[in-house]
């Protein structure tokens, strides 16, 4: 570890670089989250900072500002710069169009590898909530140590309850790795199960929530991706080679449109796990991807029968109601005798649903796209 340290006593890890993918709209949080102001630019944790800023602050003690790269869409770059004034311009990877996580994380990894051939990279989403930074840091340190031993590593979350909103990681056997005593092989990744299957997973103790965190040497990650998607990695390396030159824009404009759209889960994680090359570090820190309004209600409610209220200068009256009200307008919102209600009031759109149906908001957004109602998306 380097000798410098922050106020909490955590020192930056040698050659460790963080990648923050700041993409995706968060459709299940419409109409709060929009294409021009997505989830990661909102204060959903209720601490006065956006999720993006919280992620930056959480990673800073492990990396230092000079070793964080943010990958985001061109349209969101000004907002990212505003949120992260210490982010170097050369560390902001602007995506001309959405191409899924392999392109964003892979390009950032290729850029970092050229700057630091010994780099270990960690990819951490911009829009997740973590409540215990100290325990999170401990899990990342273990993952870093496993990555130094040439493993591809993920951090899985010990489930607090059965949930059909998350994917799962099936634990394999323990692996002896210096500095990573809790490491297990990843037996498999499982897509979001139904509630009954999720209940069995949690009861078994053999499954973790998949938080989409990946840690590896940049060279190892790109090498594993090259084995599955050689044309994609060749293209990413060509763009990376031009990144710190005057030809960056021309090269990116020529190559980016033709990149394959594929999530890093499918290009790296799943094939590497099948080959026995991936380990998981169990994480016992509080975590949520805030994937829908049910999750947001769970985070902010004081108890099972509470009505959580979010928003500045909100005017909400409730009588024997539970759930969540998010208000971004000056209207009075009144809720009477409603259990697990979700009300989201914005100046140009109103959503009313229930916590049980919160995952279906994305289907509503998809329907609006088909109907041409793009002005409120």
Residue from 275, 224, 249 nearest 106 by CA: 224
Percentage of the residues of the chain whose pLDDT score is greater than 90: 84
Q: Delineate the domains of the chain, giving CATH numbers in brackets.
A: 16-288 (3.90.550.10), 293-376 (no CATH)
pLDDT digits (tens, 9 = 90+) for 106-129: 999 999 999 999 999 999 999 999
Decide if pLDDT at 246 tops 70.
yes
The pLDDT tens digits of the residues spanning 201-239 come to: 999 999 999 999 999 999 999 999 999 999 999 999 999
Does residue 304 surpass a pLDDT of 90? no
Helices (H), 69-194: 77-83, 100-115, 133-148
Which residues, in sequence order, are CB contacts of 2 under 8 Å at separation 6+? Answer: 11, 12, 13, 14, 64
Task: Give the pLDDT confidence of 10-20 residue by residue, as tens digits.
Answer: 689 999 999 99
* Per-residue confidence (pLDDT) for residue 9, from 0 to 100: 55
What is residue 311's predicted lDDT score, i.e. its pLDDT?
85
Measured over the CA atoms of residue 4, residue 6, residue 8 and residue 13, the dihedral's sign is negative
Task: Enter the tokens of residue 138.
Answer: 């401990």
Q: 278 forms bridges with which residues in the sheet?
A: 152
SS3 at position 246? coil
pLDDT at 137 over 60: yes
How do strand 168-174 and strand 184-190 relate by DSSP bridges? antiparallel
Residues 6+ apart with CB under 8 A from 178: 145, 149
128 touches 106 (CB < 8 A): no
| pLDDT(313) > 80 | no
* pTM of this structure: 0.92
- Per-residue confidence (pLDDT) for residue 24, from 0 to 100: 82
| Region 266-288 average pLDDT | 96
User: How far, in Å, CA of 188 to CA of 127, rounded?
Assistant: 25
pLDDT confidence band for 1 (50 / 70 / 90):
very low
Q: Which residue has the higher pLDDT, 37 or 5?
A: 37
What is the predicted pLDDT for the residue at 6? 42
């Amino acid at each position: 570890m380097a000798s410098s340290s922050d106020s909490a006593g955590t020192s930056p890890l040698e050659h460790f670089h963080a990648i923050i993918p700041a993409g995706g709209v968060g459709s299940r949080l419409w109409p709060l989250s929009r294409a021009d102001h997505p989830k990661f630019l909102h204060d959903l944790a209720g601490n006065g900072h956006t999720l993006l800023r919280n992620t930056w602050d959480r990673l800073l003690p492990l990396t230092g500002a000079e070793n964080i790269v943010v990958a985001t869409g061109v349209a969101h770059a000004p907002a990212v710069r505003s949120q992260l004034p210490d982010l170097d311009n050369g560390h902001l990877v602007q995506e001309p169009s959405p191409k899924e996580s392999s392109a964003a994380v892979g390009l950032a990894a290729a850029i970092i590898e050229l700057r630091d051939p010994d780099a270990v990279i960690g990819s951490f989403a911009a829009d997740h909530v973590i409540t215990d930074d100290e325990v999170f840091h401990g899990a990342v340190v273990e993952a870093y140590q496993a990555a130094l031993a040439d493993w591809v590593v993920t951090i899985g979350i010990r489930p607090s309850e059965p949930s059909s909103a998350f994917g799962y990681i099936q634990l394999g056997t323990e692996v002896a790795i210096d500095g990573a005593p809790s490491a297990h092989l990843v037996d498999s990744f499982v897509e979001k199960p139904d509630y009954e299957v999720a209940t069995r997973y949690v009861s078994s103790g053999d499954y973790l929530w998949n938080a989409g965190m990946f840690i590896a040497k940049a060279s190892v990650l790109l090498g594993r991706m090259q084995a599955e998607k050689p044309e994609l990695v060749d293209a990413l390396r060509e763009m990376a080679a031009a990144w710190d030159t005057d030809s960056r824009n021309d090269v990116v404009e020529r190559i980016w449109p033709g990149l394959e759209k594929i999530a890093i889960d499918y290009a790296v994680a799943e094939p590497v796990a099948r080959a026995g090359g991936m380990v998981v570090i169990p994480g016992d820190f509080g975590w949520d991807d805030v994937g829908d309004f049910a999750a947001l209600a769970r985070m902010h409610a004081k108890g099972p029968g509470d009505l959580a209220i979010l928003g500045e200068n909100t005017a909400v009256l409730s009588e024997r109601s539970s759930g969540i009200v998010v208000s971004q307008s000056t209207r009075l919102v009144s809720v009477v005798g409603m259990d697990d209600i979700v009300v989201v009031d914005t100046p140009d759109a109103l959503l009313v649903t229930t916590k049980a149906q919160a995952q279906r908001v994305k289907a509503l957004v998809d329907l609006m796209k088909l109907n041409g109602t793009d002005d409120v998306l």
